[in-house]
Amino acid sequence: MKKIDARGLSCPEPVIMTKKALSSGDREYEILVDDVAPKENVTRYAEHQGYKVSITEEDGVYTLLLKK
């Protein structure tokens, strides 16, 4: 599973990082963001690419688990 740490970054950078990672063709990714806007934008992008997204939040950090 690829892990992407996009904490502290504002959009569109987390989405761009996710797009680059998804090009590897892996089936699972873990993406860390710390703001609502990147959480929503990365989720929307990943779902558009056919991934199911589950989100957990702990201490202001959102962990997005993408699975195909």
11 is catalytic: yes
* Lookup: tokens for 19: 């797009």
Which of 9, 11, 53, 61 is labelled catalytic?
11
User: Residues 30, 65: contact at Cβ < 8 Å?
Assistant: yes
Report the residue count for the chain.
68
Return the active site residues: 11
